Structure 1
C-alpha cells in the first residue's frame, strides 16, 4: 500500500493511558491488553466522551503509553493516568489494512521526513479507528492513523 504523507497539527488532545514497555515481538499483545485495562477503567468510572484507542511511542526502546482519547482531562484511577498527545506539527499518514503491515506507514513517514529535511522530535503515535464488525472478516479495512512529531515544532 502506498501511504500519502501529510503535515498535520497536533493540538495535544487529552488521553487516558497506562505506561508500558515492550519488545517488538510483544508489542501487539501489550497494546491490546493495555487498551483493555484503560477501557475497563474508563467504563467503570463512567467517563463520557471516550474516543479511539491510542499508542504513543516515546523512544526506540518501545517505552509507550497506551489508552484512549477522552473529551476532558482524566484525573486518573489506579494505573490509568491522564495525559495528552504530543503537541506540535506532525508528519502523518493513514494506514488501511492489517496491523502487522503498519510498518509501511512508519517507513513512509520516516522516508518523507528525510527527503524533505524535516527532523523528527522523538515521539510517534498511532490512533486506531473505531472497530467495525466488518474488520473481523476483512482486516484489509482496518484504519490506523500514524503521526510523528517534527523537531522544528515540538513544544
Structure 2
C-alpha cells in the first residue's frame, strides 16, 4: 500500500490510558492486557460508537500509553488515568489494511520526514479505527510529533 504522508497541526485529544514501560519483544503480549484493563475500567456516558483505541509511544524504550480516545463523557477507575495525545505539528499518514502492515506506514513517515528535512520530536502514536470484520477495511492513523 502506498502511504501518503502529510503535515498537519493537531489539537490535544483527551484519552483514558494505562502507562507502561516495556521492551519491544514484550510489547506484543503487553498491549492487549493493558487495553483490556482500560476497557474494563472506563464507563461511557454517551451513546453511539465509543472512543477509538490509541497507543502513544513516548520514547523508544518503549514508554507507552495504551488506551482509548475520549470523545464523550466517561467515568474511569482502577489503574486507568486521564491523559492526552500531544498537540502540535505532526507528520501523519493513514494505513488501510491489516495491522501487520503498520510498520510500512511508520517507515513511510520516517522516510518522508528525512526527505523533507523535518525533525521528529520523539512522541508518536496510532489511532485505530473501529473494528471491521474485513481486515482490508481496517483504518489506522499514524502520527509523529515534529520538533
Instruction: Say what the alpha-carbon RMSD is for the aligned residues.
Output: 1.8
Q: Determine if the alignment matches structure 1 residue 88 to structure 2 residue 118.
A: no
Name the SS for the 1:125 alignment partner: strand
Give the match for residue 143 of structure 1.
139
Distance 2:95 2:106 in 1: 9
Residues 10-44 of structure 1 show CA distances to partners (whole Å, capped at 9, x for unaligned) of: 2001000001123223323322221111111113x
Greater CA deviation, 1-10 or 142-151? 1-10
Kindly indicate which of the two structures has a greater share of residues assigned to helix.
1
Give the match for residue 27 of structure 1.
27
Structure 1: segments with no counterpart, 5+ residues: none
Give the match for residue 102 of structure 1.
102
CA contact (8 A) 1:14 1:74 kept: no
CA contact (8 A) 2:42 2:76 kept: no
Residues 59-117 of structure 1 show CA distances to partners (whole Å, capped at 9, x for unaligned) of: 11111000001136867522100011101011001111221221101110011111101
CA contact (8 A) 1:74 1:82 kept: no
Distance 2:24 2:117 in 1: 28
Name the SS for the 1:20 alignment partner: strand
Distance 1:23 1:47 in 2: 35
Distance 1:15 1:99 in 2: 21
Give the match for residue 51 of structure 1.
51
Give the match for residue 124 of structure 2.
124
Distance 2:72 2:121 in 1: 26
TM-score w.r.t. length of structure 2: 0.89
Count of aligned pairs between the two proteins:
145
Give the match for residue 14 of structure 1.
14
